[in-house]
C-alpha cells in the first residue's frame, strides 16, 4: 500500500549581500537595460568568501523544520541538490545533517543542476510513499558565484546564490504529489558545464589558466532547449496527474530567464497571473530557484489548501523534471 506524500514545510535563505545590475556595470562591459531586457534580472544575492553552500543549506533547513514542526532527530534522509558542494567529498548533505543534529538520517548529494530540487523531491517521495522512510529533508542550494568567471559578461550577470528546503512526509489521502517526470540527455552535457577539477580534467596550472574551473555555457542553445522542454514537461505532468491546464492554480517554473518563462507560458496557454516569478530579485539560483520560489509562494499566501501546484525545472546535464501536487498544508 503506497502512502500519499507531500510537502509539509518549507524554508529558504539567501545571503545578505546584494549585487545589482548597477554594480555589475562597474565590473564588466554591461548595462542594466541589456540585463533586464534579455533576462528580467535586476539583482542577485552573493555569498561572501567565508560562506560555503552548507551554511545556506543549514539556514534554509532550520526554517523548513520549524514550519513543518519536525525535530531534527525525526529526519531519516537528507538530500542536498547542488553543483557547488562544499567539497567534492564528503557529501554536503552529511555535513548539513550533522550541523542540524539529524543523527538518524542517511545523507547524500544529488547532481542535477537547476533540475536538482525536482529530482530531489521525486526521489524523496518514493522513499516516503513506500514506507521506507517517514521524514525526508530535501534542500536545493547553490553558491554559483564561486564558480563564475567574473570577466565573462555573458554568464556572470545571470546567476545568484541561495538555498530552499522542503520537508517531505505522508499527507492526507488524495493530497500531495500526483505526478512526476524526470529526464536527462548527456549528449548536451557540454552546453552548460564546469569542465575542470573532476577526473577528466584534474586541477593543474593549465586548467586554472584556461579558467576550466568556472561555468561555461552556450546560451542560445540552452535557451532553445529550455523553452521546448519546459512546455513539454509541464503538459506531460499535468496529463499524468489526470488534470487539465486550467486546473493548475500555481505554476512555479525554474527561474532562469523571464523570456524563457514567458515563451513557455505562452505555448502552454496557462494564465500568466498563475505563474510565480521572483528572478528579478535573485537571478538564476540553479537548484535553489524552485524551492526558494516555493517557500515565498507558500509564506506569501499564494498557495492554499487543495491548490494544484505545478513545478518544472531544466538545466545542465542536460536534465529536466516536473511534478504536480495538490497542496496539503492548511
Ligand atoms: N551585457 C551586454 N551585452 C551582452 C551581455 C551582457 N551581460 N552578454 C552578452 N552580450 C552581448 C553579446 O556579446 C552579443 O553581442 P554581439 O552581437 O556584438 O556579439 C549580444 O549581447 C547578443 O548576445 P546573445 O548571446 O545572442 O544574446 P541572447 O539574446 O541569446 O541572450 C542569454 C543571452 C544568455 C541571456 C540567453 O541566451 C539565455 O538566457 N540563455 C539561456 C541561459 C540559461 O538560462 N542558462 C541556465 C539554464 S538552467
DSSP-derived secondary structure for 274-326: GB---HHHH-B-GGGHHHHHHHHHHHTT---TT-EEEEEEEETTTEEEEEEEE
CA of 221 to the centre of ligand 1 (A): 11
- What pLDDT digit, counting tens, does each position of 36-74 carry? 999 999 999 999 999 999 999 999 999 999 999 999 999
Supply the pLDDT for residue 1: 62
Cα of 31 from ligand 1 centre, angstroms: 12
Could you give the CA distance from residue 250 to residue 107 in angstroms, rounded to a whole number? 31
Length of the chain in terms of residues written: 330
Q: How far is the CA of 13 from the centre of ligand 1 (A)?
A: 28
So which residues are the catalytic ones? 114, 254, 284
257 lines ligand 1 (CB under 6 A): yes
Q: What is the pLDDT of residues 143-198, one digit of tens each?
A: 999 999 999 999 999 999 999 999 999 999 999 999 999 999 999 999 999 999 99
Which pLDDT tens digits describe the chain residue by residue (330 residues)? 688 999 999 999 999 999 999 999 999 999 999 999 999 999 999 999 999 999 999 999 999 999 999 999 999 999 999 999 999 999 999 999 999 999 999 999 999 999 999 999 999 999 999 999 999 999 999 999 999 999 999 999 999 999 999 999 999 999 999 999 999 999 999 999 999 999 999 999 999 999 999 999 999 999 999 999 999 999 999 999 999 999 999 999 999 999 999 999 998 999 999 999 999 999 999 999 999 999 999 999 999 999 999 999 999 999 999 999 999 999
Largest CA distance in the chain: 59
Cβ–ligand 1 contact at 38 (below 6 Å) = yes
- Amino acid 3: pLDDT: 87
Question: Which domains are seen in the chain, by residue range?
Answer: 5-175 (3.40.47.10), 177-326 (3.40.47.10)
**DSSP conformation class of 4:** P
Dist CA 204 CA 105 (whole Å): 37
Give the residue, out of 154, 189, 313, with the most ligand 1 atoms within 8 A of its beta carbon, to mutate for a pocket test.
Answer: 154
Distances (CA, A) of 8 to 67, 81, 268: 8, 19, 29
Q: What is the pLDDT of residue 2?
A: 83
Is the shortest distance between the CB of 122 and ligand 1 below 6 Å? no
Q: Identify the bridge partners of residue 319 per DSSP, sorted by sequence position.
A: 184, 315
What are the counts of helices (DSSP H) followed by strands (DSSP E) for the chain?
11, 13
Amino acid at each position: 500500500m503506497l502512502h500519499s506524500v507531500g510537502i509539509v514545510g518549507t524554508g529558504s535563505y539567501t545571503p545578505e549581500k546584494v549585487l545589482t545590475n548597477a554594480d555589475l556595470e562597474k565590473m564588466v562591459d554591461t548595462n542594466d537595460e541589456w540585463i533586464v531586457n534579455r533576462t528580467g534580472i535586476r539583482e542577485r544575492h552573493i555569498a561572501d568568501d567565508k560562506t560555503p553552500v552548507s551554511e545556506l543549506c543549514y539556514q534554509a533547513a532550520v526554517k523548513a523544520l520549524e514550519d513543518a514542526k519536525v525535530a531534527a532527530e525525526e529526519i531519516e534522509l537528507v538530500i542536498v541538490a547542488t553543483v557547488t558542494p562544499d567539497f567534492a567529498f564528503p557529501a554536503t548533505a552529511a555535513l548539513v545533517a550533522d550541523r542540524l543534529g539529524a543523527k538518524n538520517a542517511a545523507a547524500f548529494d544529488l547532481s542535477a543542476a537547476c533540475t536538482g530540487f525536482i529530482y530531489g523531491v521525486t526521489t524523496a517521495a518514493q522513499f516516503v510513499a513506500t514506507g521506507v522512510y517517514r521524514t525526508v529533508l530535501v534542500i536545493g542550494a547553490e553558491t554559483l558565484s564561486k564558480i563564475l568567471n567574473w570577466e565573462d559578461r555573458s554568464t556572470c550577470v545571470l546567476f545568484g546564490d541561495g538555498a530552499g528546503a522542503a520537508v517531505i512526509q505522508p499527507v492526507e489521502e488524495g493530497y500531495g504529489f500526483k505526478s512526476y517526470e524526470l529526464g536527462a540527455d548527456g549528449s548536451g552535457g557540454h552546453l552548460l558545464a564546469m569542465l575542470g577539477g573532476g577526473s577528466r580534467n584534474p586541477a593543474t596550472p593549465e586548467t586554472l589558466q584556461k579558467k576550466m574551473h568556472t561555468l561555461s555555457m552556450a546560451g542560445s542553445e540552452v535557451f532553445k532547449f529550455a523553452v521546448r522542454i519546459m512546455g513539454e514537461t509541464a503538459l506531460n505532468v499535468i496529463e499524468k496527474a489526470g488534470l487539465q491546464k486550467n486546473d493548475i492554480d500555481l505554476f512555479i517554473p525554474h527561474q532562469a530567464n523571464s523570456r524563457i518563462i514567458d515563451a513557455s507560458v505562452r505555448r502552454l496557454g496557462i494564465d500568466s497571473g498563475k505563474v510565480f516569478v521572483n528572478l528579478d530579485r535573485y537571478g538564476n539560483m540553479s537548484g535553489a530557484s524552485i524551492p526558494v520560489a516555493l517557500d515565498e509562494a507558500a509564506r506569501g499566501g499564494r498557495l492554499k489548501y487543495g491548490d494544484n501546484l505545478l513545478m518544472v525545472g531544466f538545466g545542465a546535464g542536460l536534465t529536466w523534471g516536473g511534478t504536480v501536487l495538490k497542496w496539503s498544508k492548511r
